[in-house]
Amino acid sequence: MNIEEVGIIGSGQMGNGIAHVCALSGYKVVLIDIAEEALNKAMQTIEKNLNRQVQKNKISQEKMDEAISKITTNTDSKALKNVDLVIEAATENFDLKVKIFQGVLEHIKKDCLLSTNTSSISITKLASTTDRAEKFIGLHFMNPVPVMKLVEIIPGIATTDEMFETSKQFAESLGKVVAVSKDFPGFLSNRILIPMLNEAIYALHEGVGDIKSIDTTMKLGMAHPMGPFQLADLIGLDTCLAIMNVLYEGFSDTKYRPCPLLVKYVEAGWYGVKSGKGFYDYSSDTPIPTR
């Protein structure tokens, strides 16, 4: 299984980050999204982030130019006809992901490998909706992708050893460190992280402490680089809620019940950094707690 060209579906925060590291590592990249505007924004983000690496002397200007030249964008899945690996990086929604995979199967090569960047949804279940469950795997990149070293690899029940080894070598070729998880709700990273964030929200909801106090406690008392509310806002509160619901439904255990306050914030459209407001208001230079 040889990978030279990678197709990435979804050009948002995760998709453009994955495109960035793939192109920088020498892979040809086809970045797909339904909106031309989203693709233009993604390329601006990639260029800005690459330029930041140049300014920090982590890469050369020549390397940056070469990486940008390796990325092509398209709104049509037909552009995936020559790719060796597809990485789906759309919103954390099972039905949407199934629709995406069904839409690309008629356009990709018979030996094209499939993967998903899902942070919690069953790999086995997603794989079963395709025509190549044995060539399907979870490749969970961490946000922000160009900075974070970890890639969580999750084989489904039908994933072959060859597919696993190919995926592992691919992730390592991007300069990433691999952690392997069994295919259970939330995998390793989010099964541990998201309940912690949810518990912080419960502490706020129940009046145990305010946002600033809770974030300060975890940063200065537990040596976390950012507090749980800062992190939740960065991840996206809609994504946090989606993962929490997967855990709650997957394990049928009340300890995974999403905090009602998290639900309310998502209902209000307060998703965090990407919407300009979450547990912090980002309308000014210094984020201000909203509670």
Which residues carry out catalysis? 119, 140, 152, 190
Helices 260-267, 237-251: axis angle to 10 degrees equals: 140
CA distance 3 to 113: 9
Return the HEC string of 70-130. CEEEECCHHHHCCCCEEEECCCCCHHHHHHHHHHHCCCCCCCCEEEECCCCCCHHHHHCCC
Taking the C-alpha atoms of residue 141 and residue 153, their distance in angstroms, rounded to an integer, is 9
The count of C-alpha atoms lying within 13 angstroms of the C-alpha of 184, restricted to the half-sphere facing its C-beta, is: 10
Strands 113-116, 85-88: parallel, antiparallel or unpaired by DSSP? parallel
**Secondary structure (3-state) at 253:** coil
